[in-house]
Amino acid sequence: MEKDKYSQDGVNIEAGDVFSSFCGEISRRTYKNSNFVKVTDLSRGNFRGPRGYRLTNLPEDYLETGAVDGVGTKVVVIASSGSLRRTANDVIAMTAMDITRYGGLPLIFMNILDVNSLGECGSETFKEFQGMMVGLGEVANENNYVVLTGETAELGVCVGSENLNAKNIFNWGGVMLGVYHPKKMILGDTLAPGQLIIALPDKFRSNGHSTVRKSLAFKYGLRWWENIEAVKDIMECASPSVLYDRMLNFAHGWFTQDIFEPEIKMHLIVHLSGGAFESKLGSDMLKPLGLSAELDNLFDPPEIMKKCAEWRGMTPRECYKTWNGGQGALAVINPEDKKKFLSLAKGFNIEARVAGKITEKRDYTVAIKSKFGDDEMLFY
């Protein structure tokens, strides 16, 4: 049977409806994930139907908030790796942490998936996108998030990639809804000399992938995704982001009987995206308070980050301005809470270490002992 004109022009209505219905069922299975969210499904079984929610079991005077972000150009690396299953880690990490880092509690996720094409129902492209949404459901269930709703759009040439041979060409962004409470904010205003800086490890998150892709091109050629020798390194570059939110939310007291009594006092949380050592830690927080930070025990960069730095010809200073250097977040705590924090992180299967300390103002704002091979001290 001849395709209708809309299908001929690049939009597969049948595939879109099947995919949206599939995603709707995944969302419905998350509606009871959180004790803080009560979802009412008014859709009467229609995947396009309305849904609403109420927030419950929260202290008086809480404030609702939201954070918007996406996976960025890491989607090119992920698609080239051939495995989309845990892509949700990246879009959740980039949205939830923007609430968590200020002492808030992320609760409800809504997403928008723009694709070049969903492919035909049952095609490899279609199945990979289904698997990616299954992964979103898994992340939501593991972390007690509600996936309220979403949107998928086939946009043809409006969604592109340098790897036009990829089975899946897409952009993925979302909104995380959550809450703050004025009495539970973490704003860095209690920072003081002697406090410890804890590092939480990761590989590449969703920042700096323009340089990652350029590094792969220097090593494996402009069409790096076609080089069989690059497969392992592409997989490493595409590693899903580690999620720290629920551990940090627990430490901050959101899941304890007295919500205003944190398990561990945290004076600052820094989400380490590109340039974050100098900006989010240094110029945003320490400089206005007349403080400095010494980071002499950071995690080593993962081997793939070291290799990308070598292929691209980057100095250690450039590495720490572009990437996270092997840690996805920092938390500042009191010295007496060190053992408790490290034990809590271990209970959430997250490695942690004391990476440095807050000091009186020096002639620099942030000092980093480089772990890119030479132990050079870098000053920002």
Calculate mean pLDDT across residues 194-222. 96
Total number of domains in the chain: 2
Distance separating alpha carbons of residues 215 and 314, to the nearest angstrom: 10
Is 30 exposed, middle or buried, given 0-12, 13-18 or 19+ CB atoms closer than 10 A? buried
Calculate mean pLDDT across residues 341-365. 97
pTM for this structure?
Answer: 0.94
Q: What is 311-336 written as a DSSP string?
A: HHT--HHHHHHHS-TTEEEEEEE-GG
Q: In this structure, is residue 189 part of a structural domain?
A: no
Q: Which percentage of the chain shows pLDDT scores above 70? A: 96
CATH of the domain at 236: 3.90.650.10
Q: Which percentage of the chain shows pLDDT scores above 90? A: 90
Claim to verify: residue 89 and residue 234 sit in the same structural domain: no
Phi-psi region of 197 (alpha: psi -120 to 50; beta: other; left: phi over 0): beta
Claim to verify: residue 61 and residue 21 sit in the same structural domain: yes
Claim to verify: residue 213 and residue 275 sit in the same structural domain: yes
Claim to verify: residue 211 and residue 109 sit in the same structural domain: no
Distance separating alpha carbons of residues 80 and 201, to the nearest angstrom: 24
Distance separating alpha carbons of residues 101 and 114, to the nearest angstrom: 28
CATH of the domain at 125: 3.30.1330.10
Is 336 exposed, middle or buried, given 0-12, 13-18 or 19+ CB atoms closer than 10 A? exposed
- Strands of the chain, DSSP E: 37-41, 51-55, 63-70, 105-115, 146-154, 170-180, 196-201, 266-271, 291-295, 327-333, 353-360, 366-369, 377-379
**What domain range is 11 assigned to?**
5-184
CA 268 from chain center: how many Å?
18
Which residue, 184, 214, 235, sits at the end of a domain? 184
Residue 228 predicted with pLDDT over 70:
yes
Phi-psi region of 356 (alpha: psi -120 to 50; beta: other; left: phi over 0): left
Claim to verify: residue 173 and residue 274 sit in the same structural domain: no
Type of residue found at 361: K
Number of Cβ within 10 Å of residue 373's Cβ equals 12
Q: What is the pLDDT of residue 8?
A: 56
Angstrom CA distances, 329 to 65, 346, 350, stand at: 21, 15, 11
Number of alpha carbons in the 13 Å side-chain half-sphere of residue 192:
6
Claim to verify: residue 87 and residue 162 sit in the same structural domain: yes
Calculate mean pLDDT across residues 180-189. 97
**Rounded to the nearest 5°, which phi and psi values hold at 53?**
-150, 155
- Residue predicted with more confidence, 219 or 46: 219
Number of Cβ within 10 Å of residue 98's Cβ equals 20
Claim to verify: residue 14 and residue 68 sit in the same structural domain: yes
Torsion angle in degrees (nearest 10) through CA of 365, 370, 376, 377: 10
Q: What is the pLDDT of residue 9?
A: 53
DSSP 3: P
Claim to verify: residue 366 and residue 221 sit in the same structural domain: yes
| Mean pLDDT, all residues of the chain | 94
Q: What is the pLDDT of residue 233?
A: 98
Residue 101 predicted with pLDDT over 90:
yes
With H, G, I as helix, E, B as strand and everything else as coil, classify residue 208: coil
Distance separating alpha carbons of residues 302 and 372, to the nearest angstrom: 10
Q: In this structure, is residue 191 part of a structural domain?
A: no
Residue 2 predicted with pLDDT over 60:
no
Which residue, 184, 205, 225, sits at the end of a domain? 184
Which residue, 184, 214, 240, sits at the end of a domain? 184
Number of alpha carbons in the 13 Å side-chain half-sphere of residue 91:
30
Claim to verify: residue 221 and residue 296 sit in the same structural domain: yes
Q: In this structure, is residue 190 part of a structural domain?
A: no
Is 60 exposed, middle or buried, given 0-12, 13-18 or 19+ CB atoms closer than 10 A? exposed
Type of residue found at 30: T
Distance separating alpha carbons of residues 189 and 55, to the nearest angstrom: 29
Q: What is 239-296 written as a DSSP string?
A: PPPPP-HHHHHHHTTTTSSSTTS-SS-EEEEEE--TTTIIIIIIIIIIHHHTEEEEE-
Claim to verify: residue 348 and residue 294 sit in the same structural domain: yes
Residue 216 predicted with pLDDT over 60:
yes
Beta-bridge mates of residue 178: 65, 106
Q: What is the pLDDT of residue 3?
A: 61
